[in-house]
Amino acid sequence: MAYQNIIVETHGKVGLVTLNRPQALNALNEALITEMNDALAGFESNPDVGCTIITGSEKAFAAGADVKEMAEKTYVASYLGKFLDGWTRISETRKPVIAAVSGFCLGGGLELAMMCDIIIASETARFALPEITLGIMPGAGGTQRLPRFIGKAKAMDLILTGRMMDAAEAERSGLVARVVAPEKLLDEALAAAAKIASYSQPIVMMAKETVNRAQETSLAEGARFERRLFLSMFATEDQKEGMKAFIAKRKPDFRNR
């Protein structure tokens, strides 16, 4: 598939998707989402890729959904056409995804970032769900994911006022994992992704699945799920290799088996 709205690269065991609609501050439209999903599916099926990064430009990760594309939509056409169905596919990826965010991360852009597993932000990053100012509300999971990240009170503040939150407040609130200087953003994300990709893929995928389960179930059920997956790891070759390497004081050679 020839991409018009994204740039796709591979850095060792790391896949990199750069949103590339500079004339629209990387506003998300159906064409971009389709291309991004295709690229992510390629990385998911590539055994040599262990982690993916999604990033934008220095000015904008993504300044929201493309309002021009949405403005004339009707309810029936949107419902029958399954509008937004493909937008949440990233949340179904099994391999970890890092959002490297600089500049504006608004509306659908923030919803996209929250579907990733880790958000690393530049000091210039600005986050908001400003849909209320357009006479709508978030529709790709924003009202559900944001409270899980930062709590009900602050989520209500952002969603009902549409105000922007800077990178420092986002990190204090638990939305962002780390904040770095703008010039170090991609290097920091690549280093984190490379470290994740150096470990056993099945173990990393199980760990991601278990953390995500914590968001959707009780503590008791989550702990049972964790225990079941933890015990299953003793059936893998990578568990044997990891522990033998630790005892022998050498670097493990994980084979993803």
Residue 112: both structure tokens together: 């996209």
Query: What is the tens place of the pLDDT at every residue in 107-158?
Result: 999 999 999 999 999 999 999 999 999 999 999 999 999 999 999 999 999 9
The predicted-structure confidence for 72-120, as pLDDT tens digits, reads as follows 888 888 888 778 788 888 999 999 999 999 999 999 999 999 999 999 9
- Tens of pLDDT, residues 41-55: 999 999 999 999 999
Which residues 6+ apart lie within 8 Å of 169 measured at CB?
Answer: none
pTM of the model: 0.93
Residues labelled catalytic: 65, 108, 111, 131
Longest dimension (CA), the chain: 65
CA distance 217 to 248: 39
* Strand residues in the chain grouped as ranges (E): 6-11, 14-19, 51-55, 60-62, 97-101, 104-106, 118-122, 126-128, 165-166, 178-180
pLDDT tens digit string along 16-33? 999 999 999 999 999 999
pLDDT at 36 (0 to 100): 96
Helices and strands, counts by H and E, the chain: 11, 10
CA angle 162, 132, 61 (to 5 degrees): 60
